[in-house]
A and B are shown apart, each in its own frame.
Chain A
Amino acid sequence: MLVCAFKKRAVRRYFLLNLYMAGVIVVELGRFKILSEYGLKSTQYQYFYYYSDAILTIFLYFALSTLYTHVFSEMHAERYVKLGTVLLLAGTALFTYAVVHQSATKLVTHFVVELSQNLYFVGLVLTYILWGAILKLRETRTRLIQLVLSLGVYFSLFAANYAIRNLYPPLYSVFVPLVQVFGIFLPLAWAYAFWRLPEDARLVPARLAVIPR
């Protein structure tokens, strides 16, 4: 995805999206190193996995806020988007703390795991609101629309996965490996959007809605 964005000169325009993908590469390399040194069931790997996942989710959350900035660029709402992003992140962190603070042991670890799960759902709701804004404002930039929609698919897959794991703990071993499968979707979808779609490509978003407008 990074190569596609670089070749199409879209790195600066979608800087945080590219930074997130660079972060994913670094984290995956780190995970591989720890996995090969300590093994899948080691405490080191588990800690590294969940802490790095939380950091990546926060990165992705900020990447989503830049998509908001693109959609609302004509309204010059950048400052409000930044403020809203930070406030919502702080709110999610406080809510998560309120949920896990009774936990006597491993409070920080519980907090990190819960924060990551909650951010996936908050990200999903924010992406849905953004999609609504795209339809309402008649945003026509095909690349931007595909970036938002693929992010929506990604967030929904992860939020549903976490919800099923919480609802049916015996299915944990089935749904954990699916994370790796879902993880492939976003880089490929974004690579497609950068490689195949020129920045000036346009489409009518109302035609894409499930319920016609």
Chain B
Amino acid sequence: MMAGIILVCSVVFLLQFFVSYCRSLIAASIKHPLSPEVQDVTGIKNAATGDDFARVVQLLQLCPDRPEDRSGVQAVGAYFGLLSFVRATIARLVPALSAWTETERGQCTYFAAVTLERRIAFSRDMFAQQIES
């Protein structure tokens, strides 16, 4: 009985914390403007959409990753999966939820694009250091 209550509370709290955590990651990157170069590579000119997410993540995987970015990318990837699941199920019945999930999915894509830009800059720095040495 007690374990059941703890399980239900934990799952409810986990969902709340997880969604808020992912939104805090996205909110911290949303102010970062994308360079024209990354806009060209990702195809994000005006607003990012959820449909671009898989492509941007594929580009992200081509760059050497940084340990401190890893948890953020994985968490936002999981959040994107959760949003896609909500969009494919509950949002079909609630149209307002559909618009909200699409906006959130677009922001996930923008987060991935900002991370891509950071990784490109990191790779360039490493390359420059190698040439200097």
Count of A-B contacts judged by CB separation below 8 Å: 104
| CA A105 to CA B13, docked complex, whole Å | 35
**Is A22's beta carbon under 8 Å from chain B?**
no
Interface string of A141-167 (1 = CB under 8 A from B): 010011001101101110110111011
Across the interface, which residues of A come within 8 angstroms of B69, CB to CB? 192, 196
Contacts of B85 in A (CB 8 A): none
* Residue among A128, A164, A185, A207 making CB contact with B7, cutoff 8 Å: A164
A58 at interface by CB-CB < 8 Å: no
Q: Does B19 contact A (CB under 8 A)?
A: yes
CB-CB < 8 A to A208: which residues of B? Answer: 20, 23-24, 27
Q: Does A34 contact B (CB under 8 A)?
A: no
Shortest beta-carbon distance from A69 to chain B in Å: 20
Set of chain A residues within 8 Å of B18, measured between Cβ atoms: 153, 156
Tell whether, in the assembled complex, residue B24 and residue A191 are in contact, meaning their CB atoms are under 8 Å apart: no
A166-B24 contact in complex given A128-B13, A153-B18, A196-B68, C-beta closer than 8 Å: no
If over half of B's interface residues share one DSSP class (helix, strand or loop), that class is named, otherwise mixed; here it is helix
Would you call A203 an interface residue if the criterion is a C-beta within 8 Å of the partner chain's C-beta atoms? yes
Instruction: Find out whether the CB atom of A149 lies under 8 angstroms from the CB atom of B4.
Output: no
Are the C-beta atoms of B68 and A188 separated by less than 8 Å?
Answer: yes
A89 at the interface (CB under 8 A from B): no
Residue B6 at the A interface, CB < 8 A? yes
A124 lies within 8 A of chain B by Cβ: yes
Contact of A156 among B13, B70, B71 (CB under 8 A): B13
Q: Per-residue 0/1 for B1-34: is the Cβ within 8 Å of any A Cβ (1 yes, 0 no)?
A: 0011011011101111111110111011000000
Residues on A with C-beta less than 8 A from B9 are 121, 124-125, 159
Contact A142 B10 (CB under 8 A): no
- B72 interfacial contact with A, CB 8 Å: yes
Across the interface, A149 reaches (CB within 8 A) one of B15, B24, B70, namely B24
B67 at interface, CB cutoff 8 A: yes
A156 partner residues in chain B, CB cutoff 8 A: 10-11, 13-14, 17-18
Contact B17 A149 (CB under 8 A): yes
Q: Does any Cβ of B come within 8 Å of A171's Cβ?
A: no
Of residues 64 through 82 on chain B, the ones whose CB sits less than 8 Å from some CB of chain A are 67-72, 75
Cβ contacts under 8 Å, A121 to chain B: 6, 9-10
A window 187-213: CB within 8 A of B = 188-189, 191-192, 195-197, 201, 203-204, 207-210
* A201 and B28 contacting across the interface, CB-CB below 8 Å: yes
Q: Select A210's contact among B3, B20, B25, B27, beta carbons within 8 Å.
A: B20
Is A4 engaged at the interface, CB distance under 8 Å to the other chain?
A: yes
A61 within 8 Å of B (CB atoms): no
Chain A residues lying within 8 Å of B20, measured Cβ to Cβ, are 131, 149, 208-210
The 9 closest A-B pairs by CB, nearest first: A188-B71, A156-B14, A152-B17, A163-B7, A160-B10, A149-B21, A166-B3, A159-B10, A163-B6
Known: A131-B16, A156-B13, A203-B28. 18 other contacts (CB 8 A): A124-B10, A127-B17, A131-B17, A131-B20, A142-B27, A146-B24, A153-B17, A153-B21, A156-B11, A157-B14, A160-B14, A163-B3, A163-B7, A167-B3, A191-B68, A191-B71, A192-B72, A195-B68
Q: What are 21 inter-chain pairs, A to B, with CB distance below 8 A?
A: A128-B13, A146-B28, A149-B17, A152-B13, A153-B17, A156-B11, A156-B13, A160-B6, A160-B14, A166-B3, A188-B70, A188-B71, A189-B75, A192-B72, A196-B28, A203-B27, A204-B27, A208-B24, A208-B27, A210-B15, A210-B16
